[in-house]
């Protein structure tokens, strides 16, 4: 048992599933089964769909590596195309067949060969070699004649070579003598290259299906073969042949699932943006096979605790994690809520943020617990990562995404459609020049749809801010208020709800100038003019706060921001005890005029923020302007003036 502090041992695993299997926590109790995993394991779902980093590959790796309870007990084959393999598929075509159908044939060939290789190995180990089964002998002969001989490892061999071999065979002729077919004679009457290839493939697939039947491997006696395809995004681009490659995969998987029945189980792991970009006639037939990965804050909490226990020990409690190793609160917010609100709802982001907090505390400062400052510093670093990662994630589909960030830099994170329209108008010409192929998408509605779809912007619906994934409904034309996701605010310098200049306390400056150490009373208890003026300022602050409170349609974040700045004024003025202004070096007339100037600036910023008038923001701004005018009057009026009489 290590003597290191718990924080030194604490680790939340690797961000990518492939490394997490070999050197992380995935197989050491760090995997959290979810609905997508259960759907994949049960065979009820064929398409596991999720954003980058949502855990698709973790499910795939768990299914590949786990044995016994919680894992797939049968044969497993994982297909992960690299660029060379993807190129073979994208370039594959057959005369007489549309692109989707041609690419479906090459995928069907890959599935059939993997299934055939599995059957030969499986029969050798579980059926005494199957030497008396003629269909198996034929299948073994087909593999040998077509350069697909089994090397002892099911699914082994190079995918690129297999694709190249299959493509040549389907475009010319496969060697089918093992099945009793002489291609040059029996297939000579095929009307087209596509029809001949389809007929050849049917013969191979029927030969594979026959062996499954003859061995009795129907998923009952022996578990079905699990065929999985992952990492397709590595070879995808937003081009027609790439879309055909994915559509062909879907069509081939549907066909194979029907042909092989319970003997073979297909699982495809697809990124949501790729799947959602597809449009083809049979798309409606796949809805029952879909399962989309979604993560809630509670699920991410469970994941964090599961992975923390895998690294530190199962005795680690939730309170120990969130109240001892981490601070109980950050910025007045419960720490777990603070963390998971500031990352996109997916495991990769959560793991990166949590590890960044641990590294900030232990590696940099050698502390045995994480402080609030550690979390905030890690958050700034994490926000920069994620802003960069977002543009990389969607570089293929939306190459202009990074060029939209300046629209949101160094401003409030609440933005209206009208304000965004004004900012967009100044940049639209440059965007069209830089990305002419995307000019149709680079309109205000198009940009809003993209930013909402990738999770950068949320939209206000009622009293809630909804982000993509929380609600399937796209942004509606009548919706006018948006918010930048908390994940990206620090990197953009958009940490306040609206772009308000903060109030700078004046009392501290007056003390410094006067040289007074403390605010001693003057000895007079009468309500002098200075005290009356200060009372007027306090009344103005309360009047503004009351108006803000009545603006119930104003977003809570904006109300909080206005309230915070007005309360800063209140805190500053309340630091002046009665009768002590002069002894503190505070010139009350100048103090009121300075505050009135700040209020005027605050009102102008609110009116320019673009917030919809229906929120009550104009009423708040006008009230602030009225109070600014009143303070100027009372500061210039005679002793005892109420400030309510014009011209005093």
% of the chain residues with pLDDT over 90? 44
Distance CA 302, CA 2 (A): 25
pLDDT of residue 25: 61
pLDDT of residue 526: 45
| Residue 553 or 345, more confident | 345
Is residue 430 over pLDDT 90? Answer: yes
pLDDT of residue 431: 95
Specify whether 277 is located in the same domain as 252.
yes
Over the stretch 356-392, which tens digit does the pLDDT of each residue have? Answer: 999 999 999 999 999 999 999 999 999 999 999 999 9
Specify the pTM: 0.78
Over the stretch 210-236, which tens digit does the pLDDT of each residue have? Answer: 999 988 887 677 788 999 999 888 888
Residue where one domain finishes, among candidates 241, 270, 292: 292
Specify whether 146 is located in the same domain as 242.
yes
| Residue 151 or 374, more confident | 374
pLDDT of residue 552: 82
Residue 544's pLDDT band, with cuts at 50, 70 and 90, is very high
Region at 503 (left for phi over 0; alpha for psi -120 to 50; beta for the rest): beta
pLDDT of residue 210: 92
The domain total for the chain is: 4
| Residue 74 or 509, more confident | 74
Over the stretch 457-483, which tens digit does the pLDDT of each residue have? Answer: 999 888 889 998 766 689 999 998 899
Specify whether 328 is located in the same domain as 268.
no
Is residue 623 over pLDDT 80? Answer: yes
Specify whether 328 is located in the same domain as 365.
yes
Specify whether 260 is located in the same domain as 276.
yes
pLDDT of residue 610: 73
pLDDT of residue 523: 43
Distance CA 326, CA 335 (A): 7
Is residue 500 over pLDDT 60? Answer: yes
| For residues 576-590, average pLDDT | 86
Specify whether 554 is located in the same domain as 526.
yes
Region at 216 (left for phi over 0; alpha for psi -120 to 50; beta for the rest): left
Please count the CA atoms within 13 angstroms of the CA of 168 that sit on its side-chain side: 8
CA-nearest of 439, 632, 436 to 540 is 632
- Confirm whether 456 is domain-assigned: yes
- Confirm whether 644 is domain-assigned: no
- Is residue 293 a contact partner of residue 58, using CB atoms and an 8 Å limit? no
| For residues 99-124, average pLDDT | 90
CA-nearest of 605, 386, 337 to 496 is 605
Query: 77 - beta bridge partners?
Result: 227
| For residues 82-95, average pLDDT | 82
pLDDT of residue 43: 82
- Confirm whether 39 is domain-assigned: yes
Distance CA 385, CA 570 (A): 38
pLDDT of residue 508: 52
| Tokens describing residue 593 | 């005029």
pLDDT of residue 217: 84
Specify whether 310 is located in the same domain as 373.
yes
- Confirm whether 233 is domain-assigned: yes
Specify whether 383 is located in the same domain as 274.
no
Is residue 12 over pLDDT 50? Answer: yes
| For residues 190-205, average pLDDT | 86
Is residue 638 over pLDDT 60? Answer: no
Specify whether 119 is located in the same domain as 202.
yes
Residue where one domain finishes, among candidates 367, 393, 419: 393
| For residues 396-404, average pLDDT | 93
| Residue 472 or 290, more confident | 290
Residue where one domain finishes, among candidates 340, 371, 393: 393
Give the domain range for residue 376: 6-20+296-393
- Confirm whether 498 is domain-assigned: no
| Residue 8 or 148, more confident | 8
Residue 333's pLDDT band, with cuts at 50, 70 and 90, is very high
Specify whether 263 is located in the same domain as 279.
yes
If you average pLDDT over every residue of the chain, what do you get? 84
- Confirm whether 138 is domain-assigned: yes
CB burial readout 321-348, b (16+ within 10 A) else e: bbebbbbeebeeeebbebbbebbbbbbb
pLDDT of residue 18: 62
pLDDT of residue 249: 93
The residues, ordered by sequence, that sit 6+ positions from 635 with a Cβ below 8 Å of its Cβ are 533, 588, 589, 592, 593, 596
Specify whether 406 is located in the same domain as 382.
no
% of the chain residues with pLDDT over 70? 87
Residue 312's pLDDT band, with cuts at 50, 70 and 90, is confident
Specify whether 71 is located in the same domain as 86.
yes
Is residue 520 over pLDDT 60? Answer: no
Residue 396's pLDDT band, with cuts at 50, 70 and 90, is confident
CA-nearest of 250, 109, 81, 209 to 166 is 109
| For residues 239-254, average pLDDT | 90
CA-nearest of 345, 338, 342, 336 to 305 is 336
Distance CA 437, CA 499 (A): 34
Residue 515's pLDDT band, with cuts at 50, 70 and 90, is very low
Is residue 183 over pLDDT 90? Answer: no
Is residue 522 over pLDDT 80? Answer: no
Is residue 512 over pLDDT 80? Answer: no
């Amino acid at each position: 048992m290590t003597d290191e502090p718990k924080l030194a041992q604490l680790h939340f695993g690797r961000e990518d599933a492939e490394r997490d299997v070999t050197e992380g926590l995935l197989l050491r109790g760090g995997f959290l089964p979810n609905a997508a995993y259960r759907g994949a394991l049960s065979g009820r779902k064929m398409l596991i769909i999720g954003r980058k980093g949502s855990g698709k590959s973790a499910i795939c790796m768990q299914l590949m590596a786990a044995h016994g309870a919680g894992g797939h007990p049968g044969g497993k084959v994982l297909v992960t195309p690299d660029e060379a393999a993807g190129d073979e598929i994208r370039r594959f075509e057959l005369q007489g067949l549309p692109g989707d159908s041609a690419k479906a044939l090459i995928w069907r060939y890959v599935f059939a060969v993997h299934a055939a290789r599995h059957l030969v190995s499986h029969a050798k180990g579980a059926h005494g070699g199957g030497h008396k089964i003629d269909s198996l002998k034929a299948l073994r002969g087909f593999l040998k004649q077509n350069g697909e001989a089994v090397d002892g490892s099911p699914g082994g061999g190079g995918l690129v070579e297999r694709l190249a071999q299959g493509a040549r065979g389907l475009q010319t002729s496969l060697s089918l003598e093992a099945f009793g077919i002489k291609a040059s004679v029996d297939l000579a009457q095929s009307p087209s290259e596509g029809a001949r290839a389809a007929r050849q493939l049917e013969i191979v697939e029927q030969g594979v299906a026959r062996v499954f039947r003859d061995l009795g491997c129907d998923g009952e006696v022996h578990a079905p073969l699990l065929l999985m395809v992952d990492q397709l995004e590595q070879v995808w681009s937003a081009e027609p042949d790439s879309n055909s490659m994915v559509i062909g995969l879907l069509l081939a998987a549907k066909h194979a699932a029907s042909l092989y029945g319970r003997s073979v189980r297909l699982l495809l792991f697809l990124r949501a943006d790729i799947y959602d970009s597809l449009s083809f006639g049979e798309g409606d037939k796949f809805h029952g096979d879909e399962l989309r990965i979604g993560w809630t804050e509670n699920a991410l909490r469970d994941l964090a605790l599961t992975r923390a226990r895998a690294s530190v020990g199962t005795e680690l409690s939730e309170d120990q994690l969130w109240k001892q190793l981490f601070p109980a609160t950050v910025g007045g917010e419960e720490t777990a809520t603070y963390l998971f609100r500031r990352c996109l709802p997916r495991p990769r982001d959560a793991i990166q943020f949590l590890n960044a907090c641990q590294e900030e505390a232990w590696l940099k400062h050698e502390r045995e617990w994480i402080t609030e400052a550690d979390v905030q510093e890690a958050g700034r670093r994490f926000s920069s990562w994620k802003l960069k990662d977002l543009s990389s994630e969607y570089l293929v589909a939306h190459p202009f995404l990074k060029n939209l960030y300046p629209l949101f830099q160094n401003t409030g994170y609440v933005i209206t459609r009208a304000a965004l329209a004004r900012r967009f108008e100044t940049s639209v010409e440059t965007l069209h020049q830089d990305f002419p192929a995307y000019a149709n998408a680079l309109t205000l509605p198009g940009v809003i749809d993209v930013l909402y779809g990738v999770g950068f912007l949320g939209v206000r619906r009622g009293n809630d801010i909804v982000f993509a994934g929380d609600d399937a409904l796209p942004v509606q034309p009548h919706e006018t208020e948006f918010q930048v996701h908390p994940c990206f605010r620090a990197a953009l310098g958009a940490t306040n709800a609206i772009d308000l200049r903060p109030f700078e306390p004046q009392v501290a400056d007056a003390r410094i100038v006067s040289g007074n150490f403390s605010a001693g009373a003057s000895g007079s208890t009468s309500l002098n003019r200075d005290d009356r003026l200060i009372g007027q300022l306090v009344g103005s602050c309360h009047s503004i706060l009351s108006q803000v409170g009545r603006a119930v349609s104003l977003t809570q974040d904006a109300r909080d921001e206005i309230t915070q700045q007005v309360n800063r004024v209140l805190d500053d003025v309340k630091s002046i005890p009665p009768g002590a202004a002069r002894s503190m070096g505070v010139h009350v007339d100048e103090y009121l005029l300075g505050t009135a100037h700040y209020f005027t600036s605050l009102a102008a910023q609110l009116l320019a923020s673009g917030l919809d008038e229906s929120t009550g923001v104009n009423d708040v701004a006008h009230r602030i302007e009225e109070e600014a005018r009143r303070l100027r009057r009372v500061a210039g009026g005679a002793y005892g003036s109420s400030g309510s009489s014009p011209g005093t």
